[in-house]
Amino acid sequence: MSLFYKLVTSPNSYKFSGGDIIKDVNGYRLHIFNSDGIFKAPPGKKIEVLVVAAGGVGSVSPWGGGGGGGGGVLHHSAYKAKIKNTIIVGQGGQGVGQDSFFNELRAFGGGAGGTSTDVNTRAGGSGGGAGHMNPSGAASPSLQTSNGGGIGYGNTGGNSVYSSPYPCGSGGGAGGAGGLMTNGGAGKLFINFDNKYYGGGGGAVNNSGTTTAGGVGGGGNALNAANGQSGLSNTGGGGGGSRAGSLAGSGGSGVVIVAYRLYKNPSYYTDFFNDNSGLAYYKFDGNALEESGMNGTATNVTYSTGKFGQAIKANGVASVSLGIFHFDTPKTISFWAKDNFRLQNGLNGYAFPTFILTPVDFQMYQYNSTVTANIAVNIPMVEAYTSFKHVVVTIEYPNVKIYIDNIHKYSGTMSVNVTSSNYDFGLWDVSAHGGVGTGEIDQLRIFNRALTQTEVTALYNEVP
C-alpha cells in the first residue's frame, strides 16, 4: 500500500494541535512553527520532528566579506511525543544565529562570518566563512550535535587568504561545507518536510568585487558595494557577505516542523482500536518497517502483491525478526496469509517456543536445548490458503482461539506457558508437515490483549 494519500483525517488528528501553519503534503500533515509555541499531541505517539536554528550574519569590510553559517539542523524520525511539547524558534539578525528547540532537541545557531575583530564568533551550527582577516582565516567548525536521539547536520565554514585579491570564505550549510570563494554550503533536503532544503550557508565576496551565491536552503548572496543579502526567513539560511556595504546580510530565522502520516483509513495506525492495545503493525510494503518504530529485520524474503499493497513472499526458509513479545500474558496475532507459514521464537538456538500455522494444523511447541519437542498446543485444522485468508490467534493462557476469515473455527489449550521472546515471523521448510514453506504474509498486527469477535470483525473488514 502507498504511504502517500490525499488529505484525510485520522482518529487522533483532533488531538494534534499547534503551529503557525498546518498543511498536508505528500501524505503527511505538517505543523510548522515559525515562532515559539506549544505542540499538543496524544502522549507517546511517534512523530517526525525537524528543528532548524537561525543562520549567522555574514561579514562586511572595504576589502571583502565572508558568508554566515547556516543554522544547525536536527532531525528525529520517531520522536515519542509528550502531551505538551515546547517549541523555541531561533531568530536571525546581525550576529550568531539563535538556537532552536523542540523540548530537549536542540539545533545550534549558525556561526557569523568572520573578520579580524570577531574571529571567535565563527563557530556555529554550521561555521561562518572567514572574511578579510589578518592573518588568513582558517575553516571554522560546526557545533551541531546529534542529541535526544536525533541526527544533527552542520558543516564547516570556508577559509580566507590575506593576499590580493583577498578571497573570503562562504558559510557552511547543513548539507555541505563552505569554501574559499565558493557558493555557500548547501542546506539539507528533507522530502517529508515540504520537500525543502534548510540551513544553507551565505555567499562570499573578495576585494575585486567577485561574489558568490548563497547555498540552496536559504543562504543569502554576497554583494559588492551593497549590503549583503539576508538569509531566507524560516529556513536557517546564513547571511551573505558584503564588500564596501553598510551591513552584511542578516541570518535567516529558524523553524520547527512536526510531521505525521495521514491515511485513508484510521486502521493504518498501530493502535487500531485507539485504546493503546496495539503493540506492533507490519505492513510489509517492500520492507519490514513497523508503524510505531519497532522495525523488524527481514531475512531471505521478497515482496509480492499482497492483500493490501505488498506482502512478504518466500519459497523455502525466510523470516522477519520482530523483537520481544511475551505470550505468557494475553495477546492477539492478526495477519493475512497464503500457503504455509509459521510464527517462531528463538533464543540463541536453544529454547524455541514456536507457533506454526500450516494448511493442516496449528501447533505451538516448547523445544528444549536438545531440540526435542514438547507439544503445548496442537489444534487440528483443515484450511486451503490458495488465496489470502485472514487469520487471528487470541491467547489467554492456557486458552487459544483461532479465527479464519472472521469465523471462530478452532480452539485449544496450552500445556506449557511460553515466556521467551525475540519472535521471528516467517516461512520455513516444513517438509515434516507436508511440504516446503511457501506463500505470502501481509498486515501483521500484534495486540496486548485477546480481541473479541466484534474486534476481529473490525480487523477483517478494514479497507485501505
Strands 60-61 and 84-88: unpaired
Mean pLDDT of the chain: 80
Q: CA-CA distance, 312 to 287, in Å (whole number)?
A: 8
Cα angle value 157/197/96 (rounded, 5°): 40
Q: CA-CA distance, 350 to 233, in Å (whole number)?
A: 59
pLDDT value at position 26? Answer: 66
pLDDT value at position 365? Answer: 42
Strand-pair partners of 129: none
Strand-pair partners of 105: 102
**Which of 339, 332, 379 lies closest to 359, judged by CA?**
339
Contact 241, 67 (CB under 8 A): yes
User: Among residues of the chain, what percentage have pLDDT more than 90?
Assistant: 48
- Neighbouring C-alpha atoms within 13 Å toward the C-beta of 440: 23
pLDDT value at position 292? Answer: 58
Q: CA-CA distance, 110 to 125, in Å (whole number)?
A: 5
Contact 408, 453 (CB under 8 A): yes
Model-level pTM? 0.61
Identify which has the larger pLDDT, 134 or 5. 134
pLDDT value at position 317? Answer: 57
Identify which has the larger pLDDT, 186 or 392. 186
Secondary structure (H, E, C), 80-131? ECCCEEEEECCCCCCCCCCCEEECCEEECCCCCCECCCCHHHCCECCCCCEC
Checking if the pLDDT of 264 tops 80, the result is no
Checking if the pLDDT of 435 tops 70, the result is no
Rg (CA), the chain: 29
Kindly state the average pLDDT of the residues 293-310: 77
H or E stretch at 379: strand 373-380
Checking if the pLDDT of 53 tops 70, the result is yes
Listed ranges 148-152, 354-358, 457-461; the one with the highest mean pLDDT:
148-152
Query: CA distances (Å), 306 to each of 87, 261, 356, 359, in order?
Result: 41, 21, 21, 19
Cα angle value 319/322/328 (rounded, 5°): 115
Q: In what order do the strands lie in the sheet with 28-33?
A: 21-25, 28-33, 255-261, 46-52, 73-80, 151-153
pLDDT value at position 101? Answer: 98
Kindly state the average pLDDT of the residues 251-275: 75
**Which pLDDT tens digit goes with each residue over 2-28?**
222 222 233 333 478 999 999 987 667
pLDDT value at position 294? Answer: 63
Q: Is the peptide bond before 165 cis (omega within 30 degrees of 0)?
A: yes
Where residue 348 falls (left for φ over 0; alpha for ψ -120 to 50; beta otherwise) is left
**Which pLDDT tens digit goes with each residue over 352-394?**
334 444 444 444 443 333 333 333 455 555 566 678 888 888 8
Query: CA distances (Å), 435 to each of 11, 224, 313, 391, 427, in order?
Result: 43, 78, 16, 20, 11
Q: CA-CA distance, 45 to 43, in Å (whole number)?
A: 6
**Which of 74, 174, 189 lies closest to 127, judged by CA?**
174
Identify which has the larger pLDDT, 443 or 288. 443
**Which pLDDT tens digit goes with each residue over 95-124?**
999 999 999 999 999 999 999 988 889 999
pLDDT value at position 78? Answer: 86
Checking if the pLDDT of 420 tops 50, the result is no
pLDDT value at position 425? Answer: 57
Q: CA-CA distance, 115 to 204, in Å (whole number)?
A: 12
Residue 205 cell numbers, joined: 565576496
**Which of 464, 442, 455 lies closest to 263, judged by CA?**
464
Specify the 3-state DSSP secondary structure of 180.
strand
**Which pLDDT tens digit goes with each residue over 309-349?**
888 876 555 566 665 555 667 888 888 887 655 444 433 33
Checking if the pLDDT of 301 tops 50, the result is yes
Q: CA-CA distance, 289 to 25, in Å (whole number)?
A: 21
Residues 6+ apart with CB under 8 A from 366: 351, 352, 353, 373, 374, 376, 416, 418
